[in-house]
Structures are given as C-alpha cells and as structure tokens.
Structure 1
Amino acid sequence: MYSSKDPDNRPITPPDEYVVDQDDFQSIDPESGVRRGLKTRHLSMMALAGIIGPGLLVGSGSALSGGGPASLLIGFGIVGIIAFSIMQSLGEITTLYPSGGAFTQLASRMVDPAFGVAVGWNYFIIWFTVLANEYNATTNILVFWSDKVPVWGYFLILWTAFLAFQFCGVTTFGEAEFWLALVKLAGLVAFYLFSIVYVAGGVNGDVVGFRYWHDPGPFVSGFRGVAQVFVFCSTFYAGCESVAVAATETKNPRVAVPLAIRQVFWRIIFVYMGAAFFFGLTCPSNASQLVNGSSRALLSPMTVALQNAGWQGGVHLINAFILITCISAINSSIYIASRTLLFMGQQKMAPAFLGWTDKRGVPIPAIVTANAFGAVSMMNVSTGASKAYQYIVNLSGVSTFLVWGSISFTHIRFRQAWKAQGYTDKDLPFVSLWYPWNAYFGLGANIFLAFVQGWSYFSPWDVAGFVDAYILLPLFFIIYFGYKIVFKTRYWRSEEVDLQSGRRRDLEEAEEMVNGELGGAQPWWRRVLRSI
C-alpha cells in the first residue's frame, strides 16, 4: 500500500490523497477480521466517560478514608497529568497506525516482540481484574436489594446476559456505551450541583464549607496515605488508553482518535478532579460508613453526603446509579479484554484460537474467555467483598503503571525510528504535545509510581499486601525474558522498525473519493466539518 523506499534508498511517505487501497474502505478489517462499526461519537464518548464504574464512586471512599481529601486531590491530579501524557503519546502512534493490536502490536514492532507479549498480558491482567471487580460490585448491590438469590446465582445471570450482549457486535456495544456514558455524566453533574447547594447551607441550613478539610483534616497517615491513594487513582484512570484498542473498529480513525484524545483532557478535569474535589468537600474522611458500610453504596462518599444532608434513603439512589455504571463498566471491560486476547492470538502472543472472528467480525472465543475470567469476582464469597476489592485494586493498579510506562517507551522508540528513516513530525497526522519531554516524563513517572505504590505495606510490614502490590513487577520481566529466550526475538534497531504496516484511511472517505469530493469540488459544509 505504501512505498517505503525511493530510488536513492531513502524512505518516503506519499501524500495521503494520492494513496488509495481498497482494503482501507472495507467494513471488515482485513488484518484482524473485526468490523469497523464504531462511529466518531461512540469513540468520543468512550474517551469522555467510558470505564467510569464503581471504582470511582465506591473506591474513592477507601481512598478518602486512607489518605484524606488533600491526598485524593493530589493523587487524582498527579495521575491525571501522567494520563494526559500517555494519551498524547498514544494519540500520535494510534492515529497513524489504527489497525490491528493497538499498542500491544506497536510495542512488538517498535521495541521487541517479547516486549509486546509482556505488555499485552499485563494489559489483559488489568481488564480481567477490573471486570472481576465490577462483577463483585454488581452482585453485592443486587444482594443488598434482595438476598433470596445467592451471590453466585446473580453472577451466573449477569455473566450470561453480558455474554449474549457482546455477541451482538461492536456497533451495538458502541451505541450502548454512548447512552450509558451520557447517563453517567448527567449523574455526576447532578451530584456536583447538589454538593454546591449542600456545602453552602441550602439543604438543611448547615453551612459545611471546607469544614472537613479542617476536621478531621486534609491528610490521613501523611505520605503513607498519599502513596495508597495513587494505587486507587491509577485504577480509576485505567481505560483512558482504551481508545487505542477501539481504533481498529472505528470507521474514521484519523478523525475519531485525535478527537477522543482531546476529550480525555476534559475527562480528567470534569470527572476525576471534579469527583475528588466534591467527595472531599461533602464527606469526612473518618466517616464510619466508608469502612463499615453494609452495602457497596454505603462505601461511597456520595451516599455519606446524602445521608449527612438528611436523606437516609439516599443509599438506594446511589445503589441504582452505581448499578448503571457497573453495567457500562462490565460491558467495556469484556470488550477491551476480549480485543486484547484477539489481537494477541492473531500475533502468536496467545493461543491461536483466540484470534478467530465470525463473519460479522465478532471475536467469539476471545469474548467467552475474557468473560470467564470475571469468575475471579467469586473470591468475595470466601474473603468478603471489601477484602476482594482491595486485592483486585492492587493488581490492576501496578499493571496500569507498567502498561502506561510501556506506551511512553514505545512512543519514544517510534520517534527514534521515524527520524532514523528520514521522516519528520510534519509527516504525522497527529503530533503529540511537547515531545520528547512529555514522553520521557510519562516513562519516568510510571516507573516511579510502580515502585512507590506499595509504600503503605512497609510499615507496619504486611507480607500479603506487599506480595499483592509488587508481584506483577517481576512477572513482567519473567514474561519478557521467557518469551525472548524461547522464541529468540531481538530488540529492533531504529532502521529495522516497520513504519508502513497498519496505516489506513477513514472508511467514510470511500464515498467522497468515488464522488471526487476530496478536492476543490467538495461542498463548503463538508470542508467546514472536515476542518473541525
């Protein structure tokens, strides 16, 4: 599709408007077999409010009680800056290479196939643990409303329902996520408005203001509390990078991916920083409900705020809101985990049967396998929901730092190869901000947080917590060196990196090309839309 060498043996990139390949305009991706069915609005809403589940609404209670309101803001702020850095790196390489395997395959192409395997399996670990946590939260909400059905019974019902929905295809998934994301945003806006009225004394006449920042205070346990919050925050932010996984199934990646990347900024400001600020403003960090609640919602700062305002029945409203976020989060977790397995199966990083799709572009074996890992949530039957939640959070937290750091490193290696093969940043459809400082910051910050996130288990010494917090660090290198030794892979030199495969046009350009509308004959309204 692309010519990589000119007669002088120098790499060239022909202008996009002169490069036409019919594979670019097929509704089924010829490389991965998935359907290009996600619209730009689907991907944008996934970037803005996707994967906002009970982790943010419920897990913030544990973070607030363990670190205090200042730690919550610091944690969300610092991890948010890192997430923004990662999304800039991801936007540059994913816009250029939207097809097949996202950053897992790009890690193999830009660094080393063994590196891609380690990144891929760590990314899958994130999503099967997140999936297990969402199932954990959902079954406990249903048990709270009616305990006539046991936890495992609710799990089997949910497992079957979500499996059937995933079989409907990616367009159905995207449409559901779009509307569920709108509901989540509306719910957060409603809580923010309530918080403003409540702290100003407009609910019961009690002017709360910044009372809880003074008593019990902004910090709990000093730096130990701050370090603990980082683990929770990384779990809450996990999913921002999922737009790269969905890019292959997007109709218009050159339009949709950059737009989705920009949406993440507003997600950080409105969703995460907004939640951290208002949770700390309306809920004291020493509230007994945060650690002794009988339901999942009683662990949420939102419920504490409603009850302090005088509405004791608010637990049911928050439970309903959390249930909606659970439905969205489970749906998205199965999608991301299954696509990760699909791409790894096709790249010989996982069993080959996982790489199969049916004629509709649905990866059935990968979906079934990913959803099966949700059964890890059943550990709450023996360990208790809150304990199971803590174990799962620790695993997904350190995996997030490892994967994010790998994305930054892949971006750095891509730019080195891009320059070595004669290209400039003017040849890129999307240029990340502040390269190379932004990419090196993302790499260094994630390495630091991967090591510091288990700080709270050093004093007092907690063997189980320490192992849970750090077990995935050596596992990453075991996978990397194990695969490297067995399959004798090599670390690519910049001149050897494949910079041509995986590039494609937007699906909806096919009609424009047929009608000759890509040039000056294009209607004024279409030129305006394309500029926007």
Structure 2
Amino acid sequence: MAVDQEYPKITGYAVHDVEDHPPPPPRSDTSNSIISDHQIVSQHEQISLVRGLSQRHIQMIAIAGAIGTGLFLGLGGSIATGGPLGALLGYIFVGLVVCSIQYSLGEVSALLPVTGSFVRHAEVLVDPALAFAIGWNVVYGCFISVPSEISASVVLIQYWTDINAAVWVTILLVVSVVVAISFIGVYGEIEFVFAILKILLVVFVVILGLVIDLGGVPGKPRLGFHYWKTPGPFVEYIASGSWGKFLGFWAVMTNAVYSFAGVESLAMAAAETKNPRHNIPKACKRVFARVSIFYVAAVLVVGMLVSSSDPRLGNDSGTAATSPFVIAASDAGIKAIPSVVNAVCLTSAWSASNQSMLSGTRTLFGLAIKGHAPKIFLKTTSWGVPYMCVLLQIAFALLAYMCVSNEALTVFYWFVDLTAAGTLVSWISIALNHIRLLQALKAQEISPNELPWHNRITRYSSWFALVTCVIFLLTGGFTVFTKGNWDPASFVSSYLDIPLVLFAYLGYKLIRGTSIVPLDQVPIRQALQEAESDPENVPIAKESIWQKINILWG
C-alpha cells in the first residue's frame, strides 16, 4: 500500500527554542522546499521511511563498498602499470585519502543523519545550488551504473556459458527490482552475505598467494620477492627513467580511486539506519583497518606472485581470466580458482548494482524533499521504500539490454564514461562539507567536542583529502596530454563531468538566486538540539575484547 498523502506543513522547530541559542531563521533561498519544515531531519523522512538497517548491516555495507571487482580483477593492471612497489605505494596513498573522506563523512553524518547524505549536507553547510548539482550528478551516475554493472555481470556469467545475454539481463533485472522494492532490511541482509563472501575470498587468496610464493605447492620453486628484483619494483610508464616510474605510480593512484568508488554510499540511507549518529561513524572509522588489511595485503601478495611484465595482465576479457590471483593459481597448477574468483566477482558486480540502486533512489528522494526534484518522487510504500524513485531507476536499468549488441554497447559505455569523475566530485563535496562545518563551529564559538562524534585529526585530514582529490580530478586523464597519446574518448571520460557539474551549479544559482550559506547561519545549534532530543541517540554498548579485535565485521 503506497503512502501518498500530503503531510502538514511544519511551522515549528524540531525542539523547543532556547534563549541562549535560538535556531536561525529559514533562508529565503530554501523556501522552495516541497516540505518546508525547519527540521534538519525532515518530518517526511521520519514518517515515510523505516529504520531497517542495523549496526551489522552498516558495517558490512561499508566493506561491500570497499571491496569489489577492482580488487579481484583490477590489481593486475595496476601491477603492470606501476610495478609491485609502485602499485603498493599508490594504493596506500589512496587508502589514506579514502580514510580521510570516511572520517569527514562520519563526523558530518553523525550531526546530520539525513537521506541523501553528503548531498543534503551541502544544502545546509555550503549552498543549495551545490546540493542540486552534486545530487543530480550522483543520481545520473547511479542510474547509469546499474545497467553497467548488470552488463558486467553478464560478461562474468558468460565465462561459464554461451546462453544469450538477454536471458541473463532479464534474470538479473528481475532480481534487482525485487531487492530494490523490498524492505530496506532485505538489502542490508543481502549486502551482509555478499560482504562475508568477499572477505572470505580475500583472506583465502592472500593465504593461498603466500603459500604459492613461499614454495608450498609441490614442484614449484619459492618466489619470495623475486619479481621485485626482476623486472624491478617500478615500471616505466609513457616516459623513461625516473619520470616514467613516477607516471606509473601516479597512474596507479588514479586507477585506485575508482576501485574504492562506493565507500561513501554507507551513509546514503542514514534516515533508514538505526541509531545513525553512532552506527555510521563507527562504520566509517573501521574503513582504515579494512583498507590496510584487504588492499595492502592483496597488492603486496600479487606483486610477489606475478611479474609486472606478464602479458596476461593486459587481458581485457572482464572475467576471472584477467585476475592476477587466477594467473598465479594457474601457474601453480590449481585449476578450481578461476571459477571461484569469477563467482565472487559476479556477486561483487551485482552487489555494486544494488548499492547504486540504493544510492540513486535515496539521493533522488533527498532532492525531492528539498524541492530539487519533482514532488512525485516523495511517494513511498507502506514499508518505507520510495517506489517512484525505484521505478525511474528501473527504467534506466533497461539500458542493460544494450549489451546484447556490440554496437549499442559501445554507445552505452560512452554514457558510462561521462560519470568517470563522479566519484572524485562526490569525495570533494564530502571533504568540503566537513571543512565548512568546522569553520562554522569556529565562527559560532561552538566546541567541536559538542558534536555527536569528533576526531581531532579531521581538521587536517579533510584538507588533505580535499586538495588531493582536486589534484586527482584535474590529472585523471593526464595520459592524453602526453606525446602521441591523445584520445578524444579518454579526454571526455576524464573531464566532461567537471563542466557538467559547474553548469548545473551556476545555472541553479542564476535561476534560483541562491547564495553561499554564511558561517554564522549554519544551523549547528539546532542540529545539536535535534541530536539531544533524538530518542535513538544513545551510545553503543561497550565492546568486548573479541569485538575490538574483530575489526572486519564486528
């Protein structure tokens, strides 16, 4: 049964005004909101959505977002481009950026646990025009990612069978629709299972890799760090000498960014998360350990198992055949690994599709709450799913049938390429939101320690993440500017998203006349009062020793 009724206009604040810290008056540039209440977490969210994601769901959604096909299939390309040491350093550096972004996201989300996450944060902390531009950029990217991931899933399935691709597209679409329209807890359970599978596979292939490397397979010699010596720790990329090795290292970093795409989605459904002011920061904090354990260990082991000059690393089949783990296992005579890796990569691709479905629909719902999208997208089912948002995304998902035709697939991936820089745009927005929050705290003489969650390092790490992500964004297509490597398609995929976002931002400012929110008008005191009056805002029970050790999913 759909919930289509109109909700009354809210005329008061979420909590009683207090004399010392009265909430700021509503800004004129946000008066166009469809639900014009003055609450940070709108009453529409509280009534229409259901808190169905528990702590373990959020924890595992964070893992599912951090581990994907980029880890299982993409590491080979990084080793070939940067060498074993270049790839290791590149992933460590990007891992630090990701951890900085997650800390920024966790700190702001704990104060503002709203549907749409950093998109809605930009509305409150920076400028409604930025929320509009970033929000629609996220929606477009997620809507196109769903058919893209389904197409990738079909390629993985065809590793085993030659049945017509349209059959598999139909099956995957139907299952995706069922998950998307189901209670949010169903999505959480599916991601929980997928994340467990990913963890088990990573642990398995790392241990297997060490066994192979140390000579544990009968008849195979001990490798050690042989490939770090021959052909060497770094690879010359595009240029020669030290400059070429640096370019190889830099190319690894720009590629690694997209391996981590999706880690920011864990806060998209904050309004559907139980006790979000504590559970979301907790999930964000553990990203550092996961990045360190999974990616660093995997890159290190792969660099020990496969030579950076191995021509098989350039395989672009998109199946398990391109995985460096599969290459190493095949060389060791272990035949079952390709199918195991391919199966988990299939779950990763479909998991990414589900994650894009969640992020896209919740961002669109959040845009509709603030009047940046048509009112029809506010309609929800009786179990709290914004079904009109889901229906629109399903319509875009039908583009997956383009994979049946090679010519159509080429055109389709042009659309996908347009979103290539979207991840960095989102990360820049997250870092900027947090910086603005800290600046507003200082301007209003409010101690950061009053926030629901705060870490002193974030005052530095957010600036580090912001500057680094801007550099990554501007240099993402650096290869096209080198001699003899100009490629219009690569240039478009690397840079077109920048003018699109700027056009949306400036266009909205011009039409709606919005302005950057003055620091002294950011409603921090109101948000703190809402946090204090939130009945779910209670500290999580103290962890046992086992839970503290269990940094993977506890």
TM over 0.5: yes
The equivalences for 1:480-495 within 5 A come to 480-495=505-520
State whether residues 287 and 304 of structure 1, in contact with CA within 8 Å, keep that contact through their aligned partners in structure 2.
no
Is 1:475 the counterpart of 2:508? The answer is no
Distance 1:215 1:179, change over 3 A: same
Q: Which residue of 1 aligns with 2:349?
A: 326
Question: Which one of the candidate residues 523, 527, 530 is aligned to 1:498?
Answer: 523
* Aligned-partner Cα distance in 2 for 1:352–1:225: 48
Distance change (3 Å), C-alpha of 1:368 and 1:209: farther
Q: Say if 2:313 is the partner of 1:300.
A: no
TM superposition shift of 1:362: 0.7
Kindly report which structure 2 residues correspond to 1:179-328, keeping only aligned pairs within 5 A, or say none.
179-204=193-218, 205-220=220-235, 221=237, 222-292=245-315, 294=317, 296-328=319-351
- Partner of 1:139 in structure 2? 154
Unaligned runs of 5+ in 1: 12-23, 513-517, 519-524
Deviation at 1:351, TM superposition (A): 2.9
Conservation of the 8 A alpha-carbon contact between 1:254 and 1:505: no
Q: 1:378 to 1:51 in 2, by over 3 A?
A: farther
- Report the Cα distance in structure 2 between the residues aligned to 1:187 and 1:505, rounded to whole angstroms: 42
Residue 41 of structure 1 corresponds to which residue in structure 2? 56
Aligned residue type for 1:185: I
Q: 1:526 to 1:129 in 2, by over 3 A?
A: closer
- Normalized against structure 1, the TM-score is what? 0.86
Higher mean Cα deviation, 309-318 or 92-101? 309-318
Structure 2 Cα separation of the partners of residues 229 and 397 of structure 1: 16
> 2: CA distance between counterparts of 1:177 and 1:37?
13
Distance 1:81 1:295, change over 3 A: closer
For the residue of structure 2 that corresponds to 1:286, the secondary structure is coil
Q: How does 1:390-409 map to 2 (within 5 A)?
A: 395-409=418-432
Residue 136 of structure 1 and its aligned partner are, at CA, apart by: 2.4
How far 1:233 moved relative to its partner? Answer: 1.1
Instruction: Tell me which amino acid in the other structure corresponds to 1:491.
Output: I
Match of 2:440 among 385, 408, 417: 417
One of 104, 111, 117 as aligned partner of 1:89:
104
Query: Residue 61 of structure 1 corresponds to which residue in structure 2?
Result: 76
What amino acid is the match of 1:251?
K
Q: State the alpha-carbon separation in 1 of the partners of residues 390 and 383 from structure 2.
A: 14
Cα separation, 2, equivalents of 1:65 and 1:392: 27
Shift of residue 213, structure 1, vs aligned partner: 2.2
CA separation in 2, counterparts of 1:351 and 1:262?
A: 35
Once residues 53 and 267 of structure 1 are traced to their aligned partners in structure 2, the CA distance between those partners, rounded to angstroms, is 13
| 1:6 aligned onto 2:31 | no
- Residues 349-381 of structure 1 deviation map (CA, whole Å, 9 limit, x = unaligned): 223322321121011121232344344555555
Give the 3-state SS of the residue equivalent to 1:464 in structure 2.
helix
Q: Check 1:100–1:319 CA distance in 2 against 1; reply closer, same or farther (3 A cut).
A: closer
| 1:387 to 1:32, Cα distance in 2 relative to 1, 3 A | farther
* Distance change in 2, residues 1:506/1:337 (3 Å): farther
What letter corresponds to residue 48 of structure 1 in structure 2?
A: I
Aligned CA distance change for structure 1 residues 64 and 353 (closer, same or farther; 3 Å) = farther
SS at structure 2 position matched to 1:241: helix
Partner residue, 2:31:
none
Quote how far apart the aligned CAs of 1:154 are: 1.4
- Residue number in structure 1 paired with 2:113: 98
Deviates more, 1:202-211 or 1:296-305: 202-211
Task: Look up the equivalent residue of 2:447 and give its one-letter code.
Answer: T
Structure 1 CA distance for aligned equivalents of residues 429 and 263 of structure 2:
15
Task: Name the SS for the 1:465 alignment partner.
Answer: helix
What is the one-letter code of the residue matched to 2:125? M
SS at the partner of 1:336? helix
Secondary structure of 2:389's counterpart equals helix
Letter in 2 for 1:453: G
In structure 2, C-alpha distance between the alignment counterparts of 1:74 and 1:420, rounded to whole Å:
38
Shift of the 79–294 alpha-carbon distance from structure 1 to 2, 3 Å rule, reads: closer
Distance 1:421 1:347, change over 3 A: same
Given that 2:148 and 2:400 are in contact with CA atoms closer than 8 Å, whether structure 1 keeps it comes out as yes
Partner of 2:186: 172
Write the deviation string for residues 231-268 of structure 1: whole angstroms up to 9, x where unpaired: 32111112222222132211111221121012111121
The answer to whether 1:443 aligns with 2:466 is: yes
Tell me the alpha carbon deviations over residues 84-142 of structure 1, each in whole angstroms, 9 at most, x when there is no partner: 11111111111111133311111011111001112212323443454344212210122
Residues 133 and 392 in structure 1, CA contact (< 8 A), matched pair in contact too = no
SS across alignment from 2:208? helix
- 1:118 counterpart (130, 133, 137): 133
Counterpart position of 2:35: none
Equivalent residues of 1:231, 1:394 under 8 A apart = no
Whichever residue aligns with residue 19 of structure 2, its letter is: D
Distance 1:528 1:282, change over 3 A: closer
Distance 1:365 1:198 in 2: 51
Mark the CA change 1:140 to 1:409 in structure 2 (over 3 Å): closer, same or farther: same
CA spacing shift, 1:196–1:244, aligned 2, 3 Å: same
Preserved contact between residue 122 and residue 131 of structure 2 (Cα < 8 Å):
yes
Q: CA deviation at 1:386?
A: 11
Conservation of the 8 A alpha-carbon contact between 2:420 and 2:493: no
RMSD between aligned residues:
3.1
1:484, distance to aligned residue in structure 2 (A):
0.9
Confirm or deny: 8 A CA contact 2:23 2:523 kept in the other structure: no
- TM normalised by structure 2 equals 0.83
- What is the one-letter code of the residue matched to 1:306? A
Aligned partners of 2:365, 2:305: CA distance in 1, in Å? 43
Residue 522 of structure 1 corresponds to none
- Residues in 2 aligned to 1:386 and 1:306: alpha-carbon distance in whole angstroms: 32
Higher mean displacement: 53-62 or 498-507: 498-507
Residue aligning to 1:373: 396
Q: Residues of 1 paired with 2:85 and 2:144: CA distance?
A: 28
Aligned residues: 504
Alpha-carbon distance change, 224 to 289 in structure 1, aligned in 2, over 3 angstroms: same
The amino acid of 1:168's aligned partner reads S
Post-superposition offset of 1:389? 11
Measure, in 2, the Cα distance between the counterparts of 1:51 and 1:395: 22
